[in-house]
Amino acid sequence: MHSSEILTPNPNLVPTGLDRQECHGSQEVDWQLAIKLAIRSGAELRRRLGLKGDESAIAAESFPTFVPLEYLSRIKPGDPTDPLLLQVLPSADESIERGGFVPDPVGEIAALATGGLLQKYAGRALVIATGACGIHCRYCFRREFPYATAGSISDSWQGAIDYLREHPEIEEVLLSGGDPLTLVDEKLFQLIGKIEALPHVRRLRIHTRMPVVIPQRVTAALVDGLAASRLSAWIVIHANHPRELDSKVLAATDRLIDSGIPVLNQAVLLRGVNDSAETLMQLCQALVNRRISPYYLHQLDRVRGAGHFEVPISKGLELVEELRRMLPGYAVPTYVAEQPGKPSKTVLSNS
């Protein structure tokens, strides 16, 4: 997410007589208002949760804080080790230089085929639909992605669409960002319509954290529009911890699945967040109990500023082996790493 693309709060949109916390606690707000009401500083996040300030973390906010109140409501007040908090709270650890941690850890700049479109794998291409996101995860591998210069949003994705038209071997288009579901429906379906007009494209995959962080984004209009597409639409959500999957999140994914739209989950293995077999088991069970496939468990992409989240691959392999002993095969995610220049993700295994 590029900081210049975050929506600016408009105080006129806050319901009369309600402050930000009251608005969150007393009534459902629409998803666009939820974005406008999000917390935008580490100091405010600590204040809301009753945590002491950390002046040494200020430097980390070169990557801005952005936390919706919906996500805040799942974090335990007063607990600085809460696994949801650790994903979004700026830390002084982000300023520590670590060897091998770089701005572009998976070689995305080299994979840019044209403005706003990456092609790494055969038959598939990824369109950067927007630089805006519904939350700022501190381990984000695109935290330094140059959206302003490498995107195609300003020309309504025309460069990306032209590239897709010229490559009939591409059958699947991934929408990513940022988060494509931060686009309003008019813009989102404008982009989808351009893709639908390309007869060789058969599948649409939307990678999004919005159903998890602002579940009210999954509106009837969104679901109906995706279900009506001639493309086979798939949604890939991103939840790392079972507490991220509250009743409103699961109701949102139910609406997608009940309309015939498959939902997959990708998680990132993160130290202090989900690096235990029990936590991962609970996450996988929560997913499959609601018909969501635990698709991938990602080894951390080694982006600059995220080294404190890294779990050794050896421990990751042990955790996945434990999951295999505890869960049926369909409930165990594939443990993968993304390596620049490789023709596919690398499956990590003991064999």
The model's pLDDT over 35-57, given as tens digits with 9 standing for 90+, comes to 999 999 999 999 999 998 876 67
Contacting residues for 329 by C-beta, under 8 A, at least 6 apart: none
Instruction: Look at residue 59 in the predicted model and tell me its pLDDT.
Output: 57
Confidence band, pLDDT 50/70/90 cuts, at residue 149: confident
Each residue of 65-78: pLDDT tens digit?
999 999 999 999 99
What is the spatial distance between Cα 143 and Cα 169, in angstroms, rounded to a whole number?
31
Average confidence (pLDDT) over 157-169: 96
Instruction: Look at residue 5 in the predicted model and tell me its pLDDT.
Output: 38
Confidence band, pLDDT 50/70/90 cuts, at residue 254: very high
pLDDT at residue 155 is higher than 90: no
pTM for this model (two decimals) = 0.91
pLDDT at residue 6 is higher than 70: no
pLDDT at residue 1 is higher than 50: no
Sheet holding 293-298, edge to edge: 112-114, 117-118, 124-128, 172-176, 203-207, 232-238, 263-268, 293-298, 334-337, 346-347
Mean residue pLDDT across the chain: 91
User: Which has more confidence, 17 or 247?
Assistant: 247
pLDDT at residue 3 is higher than 50: no
Instruction: Look at residue 66 in the predicted model and tell me its pLDDT.
Output: 98
Average confidence (pLDDT) over 125-129: 97
pLDDT at residue 157 is higher than 90: yes
Average confidence (pLDDT) over 254-272: 98
Each residue of 186-225: pLDDT tens digit?
999 999 999 999 999 999 999 999 999 999 999 999 999 9
Share of the chain above pLDDT 90, in %: 83
Instruction: Look at residue 351 in the predicted model and tell me its pLDDT.
Output: 67
39, 65 Cβ separation under 8 angstroms: yes
Confidence band, pLDDT 50/70/90 cuts, at residue 8: very low
pLDDT at residue 15 is higher than 60: no
Each residue of 275-320: pLDDT tens digit?
999 999 999 999 999 999 999 999 999 999 999 999 999 999 999 9
pLDDT at residue 238 is higher than 90: yes
For the stretch 45-53, contacts whose Cβ atoms lie closer than 8 Å and that sit 24 or more positions apart, written own/partner, are 45/72, 45/85, 45/88, 45/89, 46/89, 48/21, 48/72, 48/77, 49/75, 49/77, 49/78, 49/79, 49/85, 50/77, 50/78, 51/78, 51/80
